[in-house]
């Protein structure tokens, strides 16, 4: 499953940030796990 919030500005473009998760049936004994391992801090370039 992915969570993909996005921001779009008219006539300027946009961006979508994606997180990938593993979700299992509650009877499997697994808890949801975030697979995306990238930092989300903003960087000024």
For residue 42, being part of any structural domain is answered with: no
Query: Within 10 A of 10 (CB to CB), how many other CB atoms are there?
Result: 6
Interatomic CA distance for residues 4 and 14, integer angstroms:
13
For residue 26, being part of any structural domain is answered with: yes
CA 25 to chain centre: 20
pLDDT in tens, 3-45: 888 999 999 999 988 889 888 887 888 888 889 888 878 778 7
- What is the residue range of 27's domain? 2-34
- pLDDT at residue 33, rounded to an integer: 87
- pLDDT at residue 14, rounded to an integer: 93
- pLDDT at residue 28, rounded to an integer: 81
- pLDDT at residue 26, rounded to an integer: 77
For residue 19, being part of any structural domain is answered with: yes
Q: Are 32 and 21 in contact (CB under 8 A)?
A: yes
For residue 41, being part of any structural domain is answered with: no
- Closest-CA residue to 3 (of 38, 12, 15, 16): 16
- Global pTM value: 0.54
For residue 6, being part of any structural domain is answered with: yes
Task: Quote the tokens at residue 15.
Answer: 């961006």
**How many domains is the chain partitioned into structurally?**
1
């Amino acid at each position: 499953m992915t969570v993909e919030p996005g921001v779009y500005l008219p006539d300027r473009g946009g961006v979508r940030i994606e997180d990938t998760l593993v979700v299992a049936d509650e009877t499997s004994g697994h808890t949801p796990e975030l697979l995306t391992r990238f930092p989300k801090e903003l960087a000024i370039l």
